[in-house]
Structure 1
Amino acid sequence: MRLGFLTACLPRLALPEIAAWAAGQGYEALEVAAWPALGDRPFTATHIDAVGFDGGAAYTIRELFDQHDLTLSSLAYYDNNLHPDPAERAAVNAHVHACIDAAALLGCPTVGTFVGRHPGRSVAENLLDAEKVFAPLVEHAGEKGVKLVIENCVMEGWHPDGYPGNLAYSPELWEWMFSLGLYLNYDPSHLVWMGIDPVEALRPYVDRIAHAQAKDIQLFPERRNRYGWPGKAVVREDPWDTGWWRYRVPGLGDVDWRGVTDALYEGGYTGVLSVEHEDPVWGGTEERIRTGLEVAHRTLRPLLVA
């Protein structure tokens, strides 16, 4: 495995600066943010503009990655492919299509996104919609030699009551995704607060994991005793604040990283493990974000075969 990180945590830096810093810190790969430039949405960035991406732009980026001996592991565009507004849904689907084209030009093996959810429809109804939405995207990805990977992030902030807003949060749903030709971008942190063992959950599915992310999570069980599993219900000013857990960089939370990496190796995974930095303690400023990435590197690098 090679160790990388998702560039979305450094939205104000240009890709060449991120690549140089990453290589200097001993990182070996980058998962590059490819959201459309639509404003300052949290945890998004536009380090590759997939719309209108051409061979010249691809050549420049390939040269940059070769210069720093970095692997481009994935293009990241995590948005709601089942958005309740038809125009917004079509725009999201179209951007995934553009990211697939850009990845093909770059020789990048995967494009990452979400299934998403229409919060006003049942899970079963959403899955029927998703089968129609993803069929042409999977077909296009296959024609381009790219794998479409879905992160198992719960996206509880997309649902008005904090229930799952991305229908990829459990092995049951992973099996449904695989039946459509989708792959998994495995992130153990989300499973922990869902009450799923992240090591045992991944063992049967390593062959369908085309990309993996490393994000940690810190639980506060005494607070869960007040709010319950879905989190705050009466007063929830921030839709992402459940009140009883928070994301951390690897090494500062409750994920068993030795167990996770061992299970990946045992299952034959040889891809990239990409740090997704959403740690509120080591966030807020560029300096603190870089420090968080350094902590993650110190935690994970010793667990990976050189």
Structure 2
Amino acid sequence: MKLGVVTSPKPEGFDYAKRLGLEFVEFCINVEQDVHAFAGTVKELKEASERTGVAVGSIGRWGVILIAKDGSVIEEELQAAYTLIDAASELGCPIFIAGCNYVEERSYLENVSSAIQFFSMLIEYGKVKGVRIATYNCDWNNFVYNDQAWRLIHGQLPELGIKYDPSHARYGGRDYLKEMKEWGSRFLHVHIKGSVIIDGKHFDDPPAGLDQTDWGTFMAILYGVGYNGGLSIEPHSEVWKGELGDKGVQFTVDYMKRLIFR
């Protein structure tokens, strides 16, 4: 397994990862960000990757409304996804991550049908570009984050992978170790993010290793299912910012390196 970090899509992000002794960066070009502006920086990002020796491990887009009320795929968002897959291909990035929103006016099975259509398009486009597709297990404008959806959608699309983050399962009241055991063979990418729940409620997302996640068992299951992909540290706390945040990221780097066999 390789260790990396979610960082801003700028050349400095590669230098940051290199200083931490990490092997890759991850870029999240989310709903509020300009896809075409990002695509315009691919050349300088590629140069930074080559200069530092730090790869791009994944590119993703979170929070997008891409299925219309009639169940059709919104063309503008489909083209945005294609643009990011193009960028991933140019950067030598093997994975593009996406979700699929739920349309309340339609039935669950109708939503599943739309999701299968959308991800099928991404998979076929990605094949040409050498990029695999994964769903994210977060519920931000996405319903493809649990066993029920995975059985229907990933069951129909054997080439569709999963980007897994245990904090989302914990906050959703699901058993993350059980999900890993049953679906770990489909994982293409993993987020390393701490989570703390007190009195049944979200408290904070501290650095991994300073939280309630059983990271030892987590890693044991990843090894058990044969996972050999990226582990991407995701700083996500409103508390761990600035100097404290930097210390927290370094703590997680050191902590996770002890759990990765070389």
TM-score by length of 1: 0.75
Structure 1 window deviating more from structure 2 (141-150 vs 115-124): it is 115-124
For 1:170, the equivalent position in structure 2 comes to: 146
* Aligned residue runs from structure 1 range 35-74, under 5 A: 35=30, 38=33, 49-50=38-39, 57-58=42-43, 60-74=44-58
**Which ranges in structure 1 are unaligned for 5 or more consecutive residues?**
9-13, 40-45, 156-164, 225-242
| SS of corresponding position for 1:255 | coil
For 1:77, the equivalent position in structure 2 comes to: 61
Q: Deviations over 1:228-253 (max 9, x none)?
A: xxxxxxxxxxxxxxx54433321222
| SS of corresponding position for 2:38 | coil
For 1:277, the equivalent position in structure 2 comes to: 235
- Separation in structure 2 between the aligned mates of residue 291 and residue 297 of structure 1, nearest angstrom: 10
1:123 Cα shift? Answer: 2.8
- 2:28 is aligned, of 5, 21, 33, to 33
* Aligned residue runs from structure 1 range 137-216, under 5 A: 137-155=122-140, 165-178=141-154, 179-180=156-157, 181-216=159-194
TM-score by length of 2: 0.86
Q: Is the 8 A contact 1:28 1:71 kept in 2?
A: yes
| SS of corresponding position for 2:163 | strand
Question: In 2 relative to 1, CA 302–48 (structure 1 residues): closer, same or farther, beyond 3 Å?
Answer: farther
Q: Deviations over 1:54-112 (max 9, x none)?
A: xxx44x43342233232211112123254557899433222111111111122210011
- 1:304 and 2:260 are equivalent in the alignment: yes
- The root-mean-square deviation of aligned C-alpha atoms, in Å, is 2.7
Q: Is the 8 A contact 2:63 2:142 kept in 1?
A: no
- Amino acid corresponding to residue 178 of structure 2 in structure 1: E
Question: In 2 relative to 1, CA 118–36 (structure 1 residues): closer, same or farther, beyond 3 Å?
Answer: closer
**Which ranges in structure 2 are unaligned for 5 or more consecutive residues?**
none
Q: Deviations over 1:190-249 (max 9, x none)?
A: 11122222122112322211111111211012xx4xxxxxxxxxxxxxxxxxx5443332
Q: Is the 8 A contact 1:80 1:89 kept in 2?
A: no
For 1:259, the equivalent position in structure 2 comes to: 217
- Separation in structure 2 between the aligned mates of residue 217 and residue 152 of structure 1, nearest angstrom: 15
| SS of corresponding position for 1:261 | helix
- Separation in structure 2 between the aligned mates of residue 192 and residue 201 of structure 1, nearest angstrom: 11
1:37 Cα shift? Answer: 6.6
- Separation in structure 2 between the aligned mates of residue 288 and residue 95 of structure 1, nearest angstrom: 36
Q: Is the 8 A contact 1:30 1:71 kept in 2?
A: yes
- Amino acid corresponding to residue 32 of structure 1 in structure 2: F
* Aligned residue runs from structure 1 range 217-232, under 5 A: 217-221=195-199, 224=200
For 2:251, the equivalent position in structure 1 comes to: 295
Q: Identity percentage over the alignment? A: 27
